[in-house]
Amino acid sequence: MDEPKLDRRRLEVLRAIVEDYVATQEPVGSRALVERHNLNVSPATIRNDMALLEEEGYIHQPHTSAGRVPTDKGYRLFVDRLTNVKPLTGAERRAIHNFLDEAIDLDDVVSRTVRLLAQLTRQVAVVQYPSLSRSAVRHVELVSLSTSRIMLVLITDTGRVEQRVVEVSAIDEASLGELRARLNAQIGGRRLAEVPALLADFARLMPAGELLDDPARAPQPVAVDALCASLLEMIVEQREERVVLAGTANLARFGQDFPDSIQPVLEALEEQVVLLKLLGEATAPSLLTVRIGRENGFDQLTSTSVVTSGYGRGEDTLAQLGVLGPTRMDYPGTMGAVSAVARYVGRILEQA
Amino acid sequence: MDEPKLDRRRLEVLRAIVEDYVATQEPVGSRALVERHNLNVSPATIRNDMALLEEEGYIHQPHTSAGRVPTDKGYRLFVDRLTNVKPLTGAERRAIHNFLDEAIDLDDVVSRTVRLLAQLTRQVAVVQYPSLSRSAVRHVELVSLSTSRIMLVLITDTGRVEQRVVEVSAIDEASLGELRARLNAQIGGRRLAEVPALLADFARLMPAGELLDDPARAPQPVAVDALCASLLEMIVEQREERVVLAGTANLARFGQDFPDSIQPVLEALEEQVVLLKLLGEATAPSLLTVRIGRENGFDQLTSTSVVTSGYGRGEDTLAQLGVLGPTRMDYPGTMGAVSAVARYVGRILEQA
DNA sequence: GTTGGCACTCGTTCACCCGGAGTGCCAGAT
DNA sequence: ATCTGGCACTCCGGGTGAACGAGTGCCAAC
């Protein structure tokens, strides 16, 4: 798999090119390279290496007699083999702690996280709300609003509360209380992912009275069905997950990095669907994913890269968060920030 | 108050300058003016008028021997006296109806409205959630989660649901039921604005048992106080209102209109506080407000204008919505769109 | 495999010039 | 008193061309 033609020095040259280009935003030439990094060879040697790297598609020359610029393939190699995530400074680490520790509820955690990430990386930050399906039921509440309307409230252990109103045939308070108790016994504390199966059982057994001490108090099947159906809908519907955004202003700072304009990028960022796709499938917590240029699959985003990480409680990934910026970005730094924030948010969620 | 020096033709000239400049985005000269509008005078005459308009501060010359550009003061006069809101086309009107009629709940109405407004005006749209304080209490629910924790749920007639959990000293189910009934009798159907006063009475009378048939069942004062306090907090806190945004990508289309960069504008738009201030105090429904350039009071937004309108049910303003764009914007068109959307959203809320 | 040298290519910058658009002003016409 | 045509003037923008410099590729020598 390794390209045998790339010996140690050539890789070093590629790394130097990426680093310099990211720093200066200008094509980098052979002389500048030997000066800034202490490669103990002459510019001419570097030129030979560059010619080879270009042949292999890792770098590219905007026009004859210009310096070289990394290609997407070059960045990819850089990220995969030539760098490690850069650990944050103590000050940054402290800033994360201080800022996130003040969060008062889930909304606040998410909103603080996204702003923090944007500020830390000076780029666009994206945070997905903890997914319902990964979290567990803390409590289900049934509130009768009138004789035939029930409000269904679902509280999860990530602190999210969802409610909706259900129309049912008349049901009396006593039955409702019984139902509430049984329902909580059945699904309380269980993963949302397990709930559909459990509800199916519940809908089958409950009306038959099999779960009750006094079968005479079994509620009407139709009411139970309606409630279960609504509960299921809530869970499924919420899987269409919410995403929040911050730092779009940072895009403007990189105006020159985008071939035409930042308009298509801003447009893409307004589409929830696009954002969700960018964050991608849930990965293990603190496992970084980097998508470079075309890899992210949207034409409007060919000159952007995305760095994402799962976050969650312990081993469970509850959702994804990440950062979007120009392909020419500080990968080690960004990866460090994303990883650190993901880890810390996870820890906060554990306490809650 | 009228500047007597501005006779009919001079005003006409100002209008022509604004219209042409908005259309072409280039300083407009005397000759072009007489050609495009059929003013029946010579360019020289227009030049005299322009000199006067400039002296009065309505227009401005970027440099000697360039055409004229309207100043903020010029736009102001234009908006106040030289134009009327432009009615929408039939197609646009139909688009509004079709798109908004499909909304399924309050969140959906708001989200559709903001996207619609952005698309219609091709600018940044801002919509404030209907304010709790203007709406009325539909129902208050008390749910005991455990012996000492009660969930308080407030449902308003705009369809909003807010909940929070309150810690109280132990309270039994019967007292809770009584409390719920009395509380609803006291504040159900009332405006949120009236609620604080009503709650004060309630907290005074209820514990004393004066409102009960059986004074022995009066709940502990401390529990009532805690509940009332939380309810008040909910109402007050929600006055810090939510705002949603769409169409930021449209800013990029106007890149040249912003002296330096759109960055400060994007930054401003990320601040909820700024957005709320821009939307401003509630005004009567369908009453348009236009703030031009510096009038909006933010340094970052000196080259933007904001067109807002209240919207609501009948005569009640529930919240504000509006559009933000470069000072050089199509005022009549934008005003027409904002006004039409505000009116229609109001009508939708009436049905709900 | 590395190096120094050299010819060559291009993009960038600057000075310069020119054309055109637009102005202000003035004297004369209405 | 107001409008108009004419005229001199200003200034921006675009185009041209030269000088410059950064960078390259190649080759012969080490």
SS3 track for B158-173: CCCEEEEEEECCCCCH
The residue that leads in pLDDT, B265 or A5, is: B265
Nearest-angstrom CA–CA distance, B114 and B243: 10
- Residues A193-212: tens digit of each pLDDT: 788 888 888 877 766 655 55
Residue of B nearest to A269 (CA): B249
B294 Ramachandran zone, left/alpha/beta (phi>0; psi -120 to 50): alpha
Q: Is A326 exposed, middle or buried (0-12, 13-18, 19+ CB in 10 A)?
A: buried
List all nucleotides in chain C with at least one atom under 7 A from a protein Cβ.
Answer: 2-5, 8-11, 20-26
Tell if B42 CB is < 7 Å from nucleic strand D.
yes
Sort B152 into a burial class: Cβ within 10 Å, 0-12 / 13-18 / 19+. Answer: buried
Please give the Cα distance from A199 to A152 (Å, whole number).
Answer: 15
Q: 3-class DSSP state for residue A120?
A: helix
Q: Under an 8 A CB cutoff, do A247 and B270 touch?
A: yes
- Which band of pLDDT confidence, cut at 50, 70 and 90, is reported for residue A321? very high
For chain A, counts of helices (H) and of strands (E): 13, 10
The residue lying closest to nucleotide D12, measuring its CA against C1', is B66
Q: With contact defined as beta carbons under 8 Å apart, do B154 and B164 qualify? A: no
CB proximity B70–strand C (7 Å threshold): no
The four Cα atoms B104, B109, B112, B118 give a dihedral, to 10 degrees, of 170
B298, with CB counted inside 10 A (0-12, 13-18, 19+), is: middle
Contacts of A323 (CB under 8 A, 6+ apart): A117, A118, A121, A123, A124, A125, A126, A306, A307, A308, A334, A337, A338
Asked if strand C comes closer than 7 Å to A25 Cβ, the answer is no
Q: How far apart are CA B221 and CA B198, in angstroms?
A: 16
Nucleic acid strand D within 7 Å of A183 CB: no
Does the CB of B41 sit below 7 A from strand D?
Answer: yes
Instruction: Give the strands of the sheet with B161-167, arranged side by side.
Output: B137-146, B149-156, B161-167
Instruction: Provide the 10 A C-beta neighbour count for residue B135.
Output: 22
Least CB–CB distance from A248: residue in B151, B264, B270: B270
Instruction: For A21, list phi and psi in degrees, rounded to 5.
Output: -65, -40
Q: How many CB atoms within 10 Å of residue B100?
A: 18
Q: Per-residue pLDDT tens, chain B, 352 aa: give them.
A: 445 556 888 899 999 999 999 998 899 998 888 888 887 888 899 999 999 999 889 999 988 888 899 999 999 999 998 888 999 999 999 999 999 999 877 788 999 999 999 999 999 999 998 876 677 888 888 877 777 778 788 877 776 777 777 877 777 777 888 888 888 888 888 888 788 888 888 877 766 555 555 555 555 666 778 778 888 877 766 655 789 999 999 998 877 777 678 899 999 999 988 999 999 887 888 789 999 999 999 999 999 999 999 998 888 788 899 999 999 999 999 999 999 999 999 999 887 6
**Of B145, B246, B249, which is closest to A263 when you measure between CB atoms?**
B249
Q: What is the CA radius of gyration of chain A?
A: 27
pLDDT band for position A173 (cuts 50, 70, 90): confident
**Mean pLDDT value of segment A20-37:** 89
B4 alpha-carbon distance from chain centroid = 36
**B245 contacts B321 by C-beta, under 8 angstroms:** no
CA-based angle A96:A86:A2, to the nearest 5? Answer: 145
Query: Which residues of B, range 277-296, sit inside 8 Å of A by Cβ?
Result: none
Sign of the CA dihedral with A131 first, then A134, A135, and A139 last: positive
Classify strands A124-128 and A243-246 as parallel, antiparallel or unpaired. antiparallel
Say which nucleotide is closest to residue B33, CA to C1' distance. Answer: C22
pLDDT of residue B238: 61
Strand D positions closer than 7 A to protein CB: 3-6, 9-12, 21-27
Choose the mutation target among B270, B273, B274 for the interface with A, i.e. most A CBs under 10 Å.
B270
User: What are the DSSP E strand ranges found in chain B?
Assistant: 59-60, 69-70, 124-128, 137-146, 149-156, 161-167, 243-246, 288-292, 304-313, 316-326
pLDDT above 70 as % of chain A: 90
Whether the CB of A264 is below 8 Å from some CB of chain B: the reply is yes
Spell out the alpha helix ranges (H) of B30-105: 30-36, 43-55, 72-81, 90-101
Among A7-11, A168-172, A195-199, B194-198, where is mean pLDDT lowest?
A: A168-172
Q: Is the CB of B300 under 7 A from strand D?
A: no
Residues of B in contact with A267 (CB under 8 A): 249
Burial class (CB in 10 A: 0-12, 13-18, 19+), A44: exposed
Chain B from 75 to 94: CB within 8 A of any A CB: none
Burial status of residue A22 (CB atoms within 10 A of its CB: 0-12, 13-18, 19 or more): buried
Q: CA-to-CA distance for B150 and B153, rounded, in angstroms?
A: 10
Asked which of A154-158, A284-288, B122-126, B312-316 is least confident by mean pLDDT, the reply is A154-158
Residue-wise pLDDT for A93-152, tens only, equals 999 999 999 987 788 899 999 999 999 999 999 999 887 667 788 888 887 777 777 878
Q: At what angle do helices A331-351 and A106-121 cross, to 10 degrees?
A: 160
Residues from chain A that touch B253, judged by Cβ atoms under 8 A, are 263
Rg of chain B taking only CA atoms, in angstroms: 27
Residues 65-124 of chain A within 7 A of strand C, judged by CB, are 65-66
Q: Strand D closer than 7 Å to the CB of A27?
A: yes
**Are A248 and B261 a contacting pair at CB < 8 A?**
no
Please give the pLDDT value at position A128: 93
Condensed to tens digits (0 to 9), the pLDDT of residues A212-258 reads: 555 555 556 667 788 888 888 877 666 557 899 999 999 988 877 77
Nucleotide nearest to B42 (CA to C1'): D4
**Among chain A residues, CA nearest to B161:** A163
The answer to whether some atom of strand C lies closer than 7 Å to the beta carbon of B308 is: no
What HEC string does A42-73 produce?
A: CHHHHHHHHHHHHHCCCEECCCCCCCEEECHH
Chain B span 26-65 residues with beta carbon within 7 Å of strand C: 27-32, 43-44, 47, 50-51, 54, 61, 64-65
- What are the chain B neighbours of A161 within 8 Å (beta carbons)? 163
A4 token code pair: 């045998």
Could you give the percent of chain A with pLDDT greater than 90? 42
The confidence score (pLDDT) of residue B208 equals 59
Mean predicted lDDT score pLDDT of chain A: 85
CB-based contact, B139 to chain A, within 8 Å: yes
For chain B, domains (ranges, CATH) are 3-80 (1.10.10.10), 90-130+241-351 (3.30.450.40), 133-237 (3.30.390.60)
Q: Read off the tokens for A15.
A: 């790394």
d(C-alpha B101, C-alpha B89), whole Å: 18
**What are the tens digits of pLDDT across the range A249-264?**
999 888 777 767 889 9
Residues 141-170 of A with CB under 8 A from B: 141, 143, 145, 151, 153, 161, 163
Q: Please say whether the beta carbons of A167 and A148 come within 8 A.
A: yes
Say whether pLDDT at A5 is over 70: no
> B261 in the Ramachandran plot: left (φ > 0), alpha (ψ -120 to 50) or beta?
beta
Of the pLDDT bands very low, low, confident and very high (cuts 50, 70, 90), residue A346 is: very high
Q: pTM for the full model?
A: 0.80
Q: Show the tokens assigned to A245.
A: 């955004």
